Structure 1
Amino acid sequence: MYALVDCNNFYASCERAFNPNLRNKPIAILSNNDGCVISRSDEAKAIGLPMGAPIFKWEGFCKVNNIQIFSSNYPLYGDMSSRVMKILEQFTPDVEVYSIDESFLEFKGFENHDFDDYGNQMRQRILKWTGIPTCVGIAPTKALSKVANKIARKFPNETKGVYVIDSEEKRIKALKWTKLEDVWGIGRGIHKRLNAKGCKTAFDFIQLPDDWVSKSFSITEWKLKKDLEGNSKILLDEPKNKQAIATTRSFEYTYSDIDNIKERISTFATSCAEKLRKQGSSCHMIYVTLSSDRHKKDFEQHRASRVVSLPYPTDSSLIISREAVRDVSSIFKKGIKYKRAGVIVMGLVPTNNHQLDIFEYEDPKHKPLMGVIDDLNAKYANHKIKLGSQDLKRTWKMRQERLSPRYTTNINDVIKVK
């Protein structure tokens, strides 16, 4: 059996966990630099606040409807997510973290368990230990557990937040209830083609012949069909190293001077290098991009990028930052107000197993130096050790005018009990 555990209105629930006054009130969470709405509580959805709404256009609407607006507090959300996932690992060792607010669990050797009770135990422990409400869907396959989770979320009073598909009757009933566009893995293009075949629900989809599905689509859609039929074909994903690592950000303000942009690029490059070392990889190529603010039509627009190939693979912050800064200097154009930049490292190979070059190689002092820097930053947090090309007072600065305290990741923001 598989379970999908999904946190309800996760970002809003994180805010409510430390500020009970927000319970049952409409909440909206904004994107980087307080741009647009990326998360809404059920109350905000009911009022009519759309996803992706630019906040400068909907500010008046939010004030009239008393919608509480918050900047994205990613340190808090990431830490709360980690706590939830750690709790789930107490129920089974086979956990696939699917996103920041949901995970798949596989239950091997649980044949005699009462899954309704087990699902409720998970919900209650997560709620008691973190304050985050969840819904649990349990079924014989991953795709069916997604369907079960939607039912648990849609009918909280009837299901108490847990729904188990453990019979053929329940499976058929659930698939007939599930709209085709709500099926996990059915995108707009596939939905349009299936709609032309008369498919309206998940049940209609599984009635299609296997041969037609495999010929008309890919192996992924065939596996999805078999999963919905109750034959497990979509397995838990094994953790894999990324094939490319990116750090891209919008600036808090537009920059037209090269010095500020160099500092940002250096910081982004250093972040990529740290991620490389964390997964034990080195890169062969560095891709740098720089773009102006496309929303400001009155200003001259400019977007450019450059790729540099390195003579040897590296995970050194010194080398990656140096090359990235050199790249951005070559594509920078005077008089342009830049709003966004990014660094992507590509051509990744294992650090401890790659082809060496007899004539060109990395300074051997870099490896121990990077190790010491990583250890110190892990010990003291907040990236105390930085390169000289970085601003010592910031990692990356965003406009966050509505930021809540970092209750669990900053000692100064820990709640004081008087």
Structure 2
Amino acid sequence: MYGIVDCNSFYASCERAFRPNLIGKPIVVLSNNDGCVIARSKEAKPYVKMGAVAFKSKEDFRKNGIHVFSSNYALYGDMSYRVMTIISKYVDDIEPYSIDEAFFKLENVTSQEAELIGKQIQKEVMQQLGLPVSVGIAASKALAKLANNIVKTYPEQTKNVYVIGTEEQRLKALKWTNIDNVWGIGRKLTKKLQEMNIKKAYDFTLLSDELVRRKFSVVGLRLKHDLEGKPTIGFEEVHDKYMIATTRSFPNVLSDLNEIEERVATFANSCAEKLRKQKSECSGAYVFLRSNRFGKEYMKIGAMVHFGFATSSSITITKGVLEKLREIFKEGYTYKKAGVILVSISPNNSHQIRLFGDENPKHQLLMQAMDKLNNKMGQGKLKLANQDIKKTWKMRQEHLSPQYTTKFSDIITVNCK
């Protein structure tokens, strides 16, 4: 059987786990630089739309007693890892689907046994981490998603765990689910299906295999089989990234090339660190600058950088990116955003040495030393010279909560008296 564990209002729940006085109160979490709303608790949904611009919504926040948090990705990432670790204890295989969701597989279990396992997972995540989760279990991944939707709609009746274990339950779930709520069916496909008078998931399963394959390709056919209870959509292998990017908006608009260079150097170094972490190297990069989209004149410039050989060196990547930045930079504009994207990525164990013009072999040893020290002392402790050591660039995070689980200075203290 397949199952899915989905953390309820994950970002808001992570904040509540360390501030239980916020349970039942409306919470929103903002994007990078506190730009817009990217997460809402169910209590906040009636008052704030997803994507609402933060500075325009201040009055709505105040009037409705909404608690506002800056995105605390260090905390959310660590809590996600802990959830995945707990799930792994109970299942035969696990596939993290997003930061707050994971599919799992159970071999040779009955529906009753699967339900008990789901309840154990739900109970331990709540006891150990204080995070509420919904668990859906069925014969396939698509049906498990349907079961999870039923849990979210009827949390009290299902007690946060639901198993589609019989044919009667499968048909009832399919007839209950609107076609636009089926996992894997997006807006365009929904429109096509509705034009064919397919309104429920059950209607989709009544179509012939030949018709589904002809109109919706083999992907649509796999989904149909999954909804029929024939597990066809398997677990996906985790692949290394084919592009690595670091893009950020500046807290304030910048016009000075030196200031922008320092930012872009930091982005390039961040990309290089991610590249080394997945044991890869790249042959090129793309650097871009953008002005304020809502300003009088919108400027967007960018260009490719070719290194001439595959590299993962922060020195090589940063140097090439900054040289290209100086070439494309245009005076007289104020810039709000910049970014670096690494391309042509390949595993570092397939590196081909060039007779004329390869990288200095000392770079690899130096990068290993830098990564080791930064992992030990904290990210960003050791920098390149083109990063201003006196200046620590930070995103605008006026509502940032402590990093309770990943920073010694932020660990909560308990009064045992």
Unaligned runs of 5+ in 1: none
Query: Matched residue of 2:369: which SS?
Result: helix
Match of 1:378 among 375, 380, 390: 375
Is residue 2:352 matched to residue 1:363? no
Deviates more, 1:109-118 or 1:305-314: 109-118
- What one-letter code is carried by the residue in structure 2 that aligns with 1:5? V
Q: Partners in 1 of 2:392 and 2:86 — Cα distance?
A: 31
Question: Shift of the alpha carbon at 1:395?
Answer: 6.2
Partner of 1:308: 305
Partner of 2:66: 67
Number of residue pairs the alignment of both structures matches: 415
Question: Shift of the alpha carbon at 1:277?
Answer: 0.9
Query: Matched residue of 2:96: which SS?
Result: strand
- What one-letter code is carried by the residue in structure 2 that aligns with 1:24? G
Deviates more, 1:218-227 or 1:390-399: 390-399
Question: Shift of the alpha carbon at 1:48?
Answer: 2.9
Q: Where does 1:212-251 land on structure 2 (aligned, <5 Å)? A: 212-251=211-250
Query: Matched residue of 1:218: which SS?
Result: helix
Unaligned runs of 5+ in 2: none
Q: Partners in 2 of 1:270 and 1:233 — Cα distance?
A: 41
Question: Shift of the alpha carbon at 1:412?
Answer: 1.3
Alpha carbons of structure 1 residues 157 and 113: separation in structure 2 relative to 1, 3 Å: closer
Partner of 1:127: 126
Q: Partners in 2 of 1:28 and 1:219 — Cα distance?
A: 39
- What one-letter code is carried by the residue in structure 1 that aligns with 2:219? T
Partner of 2:104: 105
Q: Where does 1:24-103 land on structure 2 (aligned, <5 Å)? A: 24-45=24-45, 47-103=46-102
Q: Partners in 2 of 1:18 and 1:311 — Cα distance?
A: 50
Q: Alpha-carbon deviations, 1:246-271, whole Å to 9, x = none?
A: 11111111111111111111111111
* Equivalent pair of 1:85/1:103 in contact (CA under 8 Å): yes
* Equivalent pair of 1:141/1:228 in contact (CA under 8 Å): yes
* Equivalent pair of 2:4/2:136 in contact (CA under 8 Å): yes
Q: Alpha-carbon deviations, 1:23-77, whole Å to 9, x = none?
A: 10000111111111110000011x3311111122221111111011111111111
Query: Matched residue of 1:38: which SS?
Result: strand
Match of 2:399 among 398, 402, 417: 402
Query: Matched residue of 1:114: which SS?
Result: helix
* Equivalent pair of 1:165/1:171 in contact (CA under 8 Å): yes
* Equivalent pair of 1:9/1:40 in contact (CA under 8 Å): yes
Q: Where does 1:2-17 land on structure 2 (aligned, <5 Å)? A: 2-17=2-17
* Equivalent pair of 2:47/2:64 in contact (CA under 8 Å): no
Is residue 2:163 matched to residue 1:164? yes
Query: Matched residue of 2:55: which SS?
Result: helix
Partner of 2:343: 346
User: Identity of aligned pairs, percent?
Assistant: 50
TM-score for both structures, normalised by structure 2: 0.97
Partner of 1:258: 257
* Equivalent pair of 1:288/1:344 in contact (CA under 8 Å): yes
Partner of 1:318: 315
Query: Matched residue of 2:3: which SS?
Result: strand
Question: Shift of the alpha carbon at 1:110?
Answer: 3.2
* Equivalent pair of 1:37/1:55 in contact (CA under 8 Å): yes
* Equivalent pair of 1:383/1:395 in contact (CA under 8 Å): no
* Equivalent pair of 1:176/1:203 in contact (CA under 8 Å): yes
- What one-letter code is carried by the residue in structure 1 that aligns with 2:237? E
Question: Shift of the alpha carbon at 1:218?
Answer: 2.4
Write out the 4+ residue segments of structure 1 that deviate beyond 2 Å after TM superposition: 108-113, 391-396
Partner of 2:178: 179
Q: Partners in 1 of 2:22 and 2:110 — Cα distance?
A: 41
* Equivalent pair of 2:92/2:107 in contact (CA under 8 Å): no
Question: Shift of the alpha carbon at 1:108?
Answer: 2.2
* Equivalent pair of 2:146/2:177 in contact (CA under 8 Å): yes
Match of 2:384 among 382, 387, 395: 387
Q: Alpha-carbon deviations, 1:158-213, whole Å to 9, x = none?
A: 10000001111111100111111111111111110111000111111111111111
Q: Partners in 2 of 1:230 and 1:379 — Cα distance?
A: 49
